[in-house]
Amino acid sequence: MGVSGQTRFLTVTVNKMIPCSLAVWSAIAAALLAVKAVLLALAPRLLLFLANSDKSSLSPLEYFLAQQFSIYLCAIVLTLVLNIPSPKPPVPSAETDDSAGLTHQPMLYPLSIASLLSAFCSYNTKDVGSLSTIFFLVNLAIGLWGAWEVIFANSTSISKTTGADKHTSAFIFGNTSAASSQKKSLKNK
């Protein structure tokens, strides 16, 4: 085997190893962050022990921030798990949408869910004053905008005959009369 044969062998070996090592890193990072999130959510007093503090309990602010941090750590864990490189990923990869040339954000689902959960927890926390209101409003805006993006943005379910969005003509929205009247006017022409 000559020099070019050795170079080709090394290139093939490295190319096969990189996705595998990235998958292992993603899995281990997700596991470690999940442990940290669970500890912060279920045992926030562990912060006092690790900080060598003389205090006997967490302040409401410390407890609130530990809770918020654990929610967002869970979102990062979910993003890492759903985007582990593999031959067939569990969710569609970030490919471009043919119609608009846009890419899909891999953190859209986890961050939207975490923001809505964080907004709910912030709304129910009254011990930290206006901080919980600020967290509630910001997280609610992020979560609702993300939910809107998931449901309506870049919709591929548009009627070819009427041009209406099929999401809004179904149950809950009940906009079937508008689509049907457009179809009738198209048939009459």
Domain identity same for 147 and 165: no
For residues 169 and 178, the answer to whether their CB atoms sit within 8 Å is yes
pLDDT at 10: 45
Same domain, 112 and 36: yes
How many domains in the chain? 2
Instruction: Kindly state whether residues 115 and 163 are assigned to the same domain.
Output: no
Q: Does 124 lie in the same domain as 41?
A: yes
Q: Which two structure tokens, joined as six digits, stand for 106?
A: 């891999």
Q: In whole numbers, what is the pLDDT of the chain averaged over residues?
A: 78
**Together in a domain, 135 and 170:** no
Read off the pLDDT of each residue in 16-40 and give the average, rounded to a whole number: 83
Question: What is the Cα–Cα distance from 38 to 70, expressed in whole angstroms?
Answer: 7
Q: pLDDT digit string (tens) for 95-126?
A: 544 455 455 678 889 999 999 999 999 999 99
Q: Are residues 81 and 174 in the same domain?
A: no
**Predicted confidence (pLDDT) at residue 86 exceeds the cutoff of 80:** no
Rg (C-alpha) for the chain, rounded Å, is 24
Taking Cα atoms as reference points, which of 164, 166, 160 lies closest to residue 181?
Answer: 164
Do 167 and 126 share a domain, yes or no? Answer: no
166 and 130 in a single domain? The answer is: no
pLDDT in tens, 160-188: 776 666 666 555 555 655 566 666 667 77
162 and 133 in one domain? no
pTM for the whole structure: 0.68
The answer to whether residues 31 and 110 belong to one domain is yes
Residue 59's domain comprises 3-154
User: Do 96 and 173 have their domain in common?
Assistant: no
50-73 mean pLDDT: 89
The reply to whether 98 and 13 lie within a common domain is yes
Which tokens go with 99?
């119609």
